[in-house]
Amino acid sequence: MIDIKTKGVRDGDHWIISGEKCWITGGHYSDFLICTTRTSEKGLSHFIVDREEHGYESRNIEKIALNSQSTAQIFIAEARVPHTNMCGEEGIGLKNTVKEFEMARPHVGLLSIGLMRAALEETIAYATERKQFGKVIAAHQLVAAKIAEMATMLDASKLMCYRALSMIDMGIRCDLESSMAKWFATEAAVKVCRDAVQVHGGNGLTKEFNVERLAREAIVIPIPDGTTEIQKLIIARGLTGVSAFV
């Protein structure tokens, strides 16, 4: 069972919602939440909870990267939310969440693709400029191999994300393809951005070169929207019909 503790209790035309959320994207600057709420022992429902009208508090969580967005802890204490703020039918929150993830995961993959593309461009520029042992470092075979691997991982990630997104466009369910794209592209970004730092040598560790930031950004993205480990469990369950979650 999904371990959602934020709870809603029906009170006439309203629901009284209480709980705490962690890691909520955009949460600290939000005017409203789409809040997954336990509305029965087995059922989850989504509500729009308005910061001003119904009241919730937030706290920004400082992260090592991905700071273009806030990631927040949210506190909801007995917010009185009208039943009309329920999104969709009562009790179908889990189904909706799974459907949302199918869409969100290849989009996180696209974020990885942006990071990898920047890392590759910076690496090619640096490796064709920096000289060691009498030639540009791109002419050393181990550096050349890194560049080839980076480009190939970027390309494979792109193809996997585009496949999942085109299936979504065509209205074809693609939970597996979406999970494959998410784990592969985000872990590829960690490796590619780390290799970009390596090719930059000492310079790669400084704030004077962009690759240190790319490496920090990359390390964040295998976590949201289901970690790499969870994606693998979803893929294996889809293939075998056997759940290895618990």
Cβ closer to ligand FAD: 21 or 158?
21
Q: Are 48 and 38 in contact (CB under 8 A)?
A: no
Q: Would you count residue 104 as binding ligand FAD (CB under 6 A)?
A: no
Residue numbers 126-145 binding ligand FAD by CB under 6 A: none
Q: Which stretch binds ligand FAD (CB under 6 A): 21-29, 122-130, 156-164, 185-193?
A: 21-29
Q: How far is CA 13 from each of CA 9, 74, 158, rounded to the nearest angstrom?
A: 11, 24, 47
Q: Would you count residue 223 as binding ligand FAD (CB under 6 A)?
A: yes
Pattern 65-94, binding to ligand FAD, x per CB under 6 A? -x----x-----------------------
* Residues binding ligand FAD: number (CB under 6 A): 15
The encoded tokens of residue 103 equal: 């869409």
Q: Would you count residue 227 as binding ligand FAD (CB under 6 A)?
A: yes
Q: Is 212 helix (H, G, I), strand (E, B) or coil?
A: helix
Cβ closer to ligand FAD: 72 or 164?
72
CB 194 → ligand FAD: shortest distance, Å? 18
Backbone angles phi, psi at 100, to 5 degrees: -60, -40
In eight-state DSSP terms, residue 92 is B
Q: Would you count residue 226 as binding ligand FAD (CB under 6 A)?
A: yes
Q: What is the CA radius of gyration of the chain?
A: 22
Residue in 3, 31, 171, 245 binding ligand FAD, rule: CB under 6 A = 245
CB 29 → ligand FAD: shortest distance, Å? 13
> How far apart, in whole angstroms, are the C-alpha atoms of residue 119 and residue 122?
5
Q: Is 34 helix (H, G, I), strand (E, B) or coil?
A: strand
Cβ closer to ligand FAD: 156 or 223?
223
Q: At 36, which helix (H) or strand (E)?
A: strand 32-38
CB 61 → ligand FAD: shortest distance, Å? 9
DSSP string, 107-175: HHHHHHHHHHHHHHHHHHHHHTT-EETTEEGGGSHHHHHHHHHHHHHHHHHHHHHHHHHHHHHTT---H
Residue 75 burial (CB count, 10 A): 14
Residue in 172, 229, 238, 243 binding ligand FAD, rule: CB under 6 A = 229
Residue in 9, 25, 155, 173 binding ligand FAD, rule: CB under 6 A = 25
Cβ closer to ligand FAD: 59 or 131?
59
Binding site for ligand FAD (CB under 6 A): 23-25, 66, 71, 220, 223-227, 229-230, 233, 245
